[in-house]
Structure 1
């Protein structure tokens, strides 16, 4: 079958053989998601699921720098500052896409080449076939902007080995392909230069291909991802991040002499104290949750409340707008964020996102 493509602004939809390809198309913005893109993706996913000539969906990003750097938080920052009542609309429509991908009826293949952060993890790591390359740089960096891991990350991260997900969620640090696989946010590594050949091999499959058949093709292209740094530090991570308060985690890290513990402490010291405590609470609740829906609902509740407070606006200012990398958090110390302060973030005050999945 001849390759065809149709352009719809910030998302491209291709057919390569039997494979439907979704290409995120904002390369100058590292393919950051906005509301228009989410609104294009949803009907496309529905259409491909119903099309008997489509064997699978492949997600990729245009440009050379990455699949997706997350949601367009600059817009959310602007709407929130202006008091726009529709500021949460992006999350209301994005989160159901994450759920749709997690339960997609056909093989869903995400090519996680380059930068994959925040919302990029949401549209990739919920899929059944997650491909990283030697260029993959993955992170959930939200605690650094006064926010929390969302897009179902509080379902995914607690299911990483040991306390790896707690380390990823709290520190917001960037990891490479081996660590992405170790953390169960990706499956196999394929050299970036071989991705075009991989896509054409997948497109050559017959409609109705099973996931096992797709994986067999992927395995033909797979290479060893190298050694996982987080895997090598697993004992230390588990020893320090198994506590249920951030203060205990920091104290445990201070007792360690390894360089990894020192750099981890330094990373935590740069994050919003409120975000750190909220994130740990969400990760522990996510560990005991029964479904992705439960986590997405809880994340949305917290996100809605975060927009009423200082740290998100200050974090985005420092990281994205002024780029001085010097946020002034309020409260500035962990000990000044009490449990009662956190409770208000978890008080539901909005209609359910998933009315058909009542908890």
Structure 2
């Protein structure tokens, strides 16, 4: 089976504790998350959570190219395009429910989880990465929430974590789906550390020789501190090497312009302001980055832009649990609308790069359609994620 989660447990020097390692293994699809992988990962994390000998978890992707490039949208497209509406709703409900349960488990995990975000971290991969207590990137890492290009929206907890960023930044990332490099990710607080790719084994070996505390809330807190100390030490020791390897900032130089463009409560105006950001006085690499962001927004789904806008502007006060419950209904509804199916077809199936969106512009989108997408498909007690956090 090519889509699985490999696991390993490394015994610590004290002979009683272990470091658990979960490796997303779907290398041919940049470790995209299949339902099978989500089932395995969810089961593993619960098992390790309840195993008193496990003191820390390292979550990584197989290979150097990607931590995880997203969810299994190809499988969703197959179901949406070949099966009945009822079957598509059932498939999407089951997939997204399990995915969000997995994301939530990581967000609320009592033990330290180190996400080793080497390579591409996108979409569903961001759901795993952003929930980790310790988020590590390598100099070549890039992260993004590119759902605007496929007619979805920044899900997997995006309603929560994009709203934790400085005002305007999360909205810009959602509206453009632009890639963020490791330097920018740390500076906008979407990642905690940058370590050389070669440091992975040294990280595990250093964790193995630490003093770990077993049991009790105090023990969990102390173990989180131990991981902080290890990562800080490795970061300090590799500072010169990382400085030579890490990319120059691309987002940060535009920070004030991005925040100003994303002010206000009128999406059409924000869209115009984003597209009008002037990069002519910036170095070539920065200008190209902004141009890619603007092009992605210009060609992206107008419905996706509306969904992202409401996520950021109207739901910033929701709890983490409420965010996932909101997103489940929204994601399933998107799967039934047709926009998501068309976006995946154009970008990943036929690869013609020419999706035919339901609306030609942000201004032409029927607000009633957006209202309907945000309507829950279930009563509160029958919601598939009703027990989340309870």
Is the structural similarity TM-score above 0.5? yes
1:232-264 superposed Cα distances (whole Å, 9 cap, x missing partner): 211101100123232111232355433456554
CA distance in 2, matches of 1:16, 1:182: 32
Map residues 162-181 of structure 1 onto 2, 5 A cutoff. Answer: 162-181=167-186
Q: Is the 2:20–2:57 Cα contact (8 Å) retained in structure 1?
A: yes
Q: Is the 2:325–2:386 Cα contact (8 Å) retained in structure 1?
A: no
Q: Is the 2:138–2:196 Cα contact (8 Å) retained in structure 1?
A: yes
Give the 3 Å change call, closer, same or farther, for CA 142–255 of structure 1 in structure 2.
closer
Q: Does 1:33 align with 2:37?
A: no
Match of residue 49 from structure 1: 49
Q: Is the 1:55–1:206 Cα contact (8 Å) retained in structure 2?
A: no
Q: Is the 2:139–2:247 Cα contact (8 Å) retained in structure 1?
A: no
Match of residue 265 from structure 2: 244
Offset of 1:179 from its aligned partner? Answer: 1.5
Q: Is the 1:132–1:177 Cα contact (8 Å) retained in structure 2?
A: yes
1:291-326 superposed Cα distances (whole Å, 9 cap, x missing partner): 111111111111111112232111101111011111
1:169-196 superposed Cα distances (whole Å, 9 cap, x missing partner): 1100111101211232210100111112
Offset of 1:203 from its aligned partner? Answer: 2.9
Match of residue 298 from structure 2: 269
Match of residue 7 from structure 2: 13
Match of residue 228 from structure 1: 249
Match of residue 128 from structure 2: 123
Root-mean-square deviation (Å): 2.0
Offset of 1:104 from its aligned partner? Answer: 0.3
Q: Which runs of 5+ in 1 are unaligned?
A: 1-6
Pick from 338, 341, 354 the counterpart of residue 385 of structure 2.
354
Q: Does 1:330 align with 2:358?
A: yes
CA distance in 1, matches of 2:348, 2:145: 16
Q: Does 1:216 align with 2:229?
A: yes
Q: Is the 1:96–1:353 Cα contact (8 Å) retained in structure 2?
A: no
Of the structure 1 ranges 142-151 and 260-269, higher mean CA displacement relative to structure 2 is found in 260-269
CA distance in 2, matches of 1:256, 1:69: 28
Match of residue 341 from structure 2: 313
CA distance in 2, matches of 1:124, 1:265: 25
Pick from 297, 305, 328 the counterpart of residue 325 of structure 2.
297
CA distance in 2, matches of 1:262, 1:9: 35
Match of residue 340 from structure 1: 368
SS in 2 for 1:147: coil
1:187-243 superposed Cα distances (whole Å, 9 cap, x missing partner): 010011111211221233344352111111111222355543222211101100123
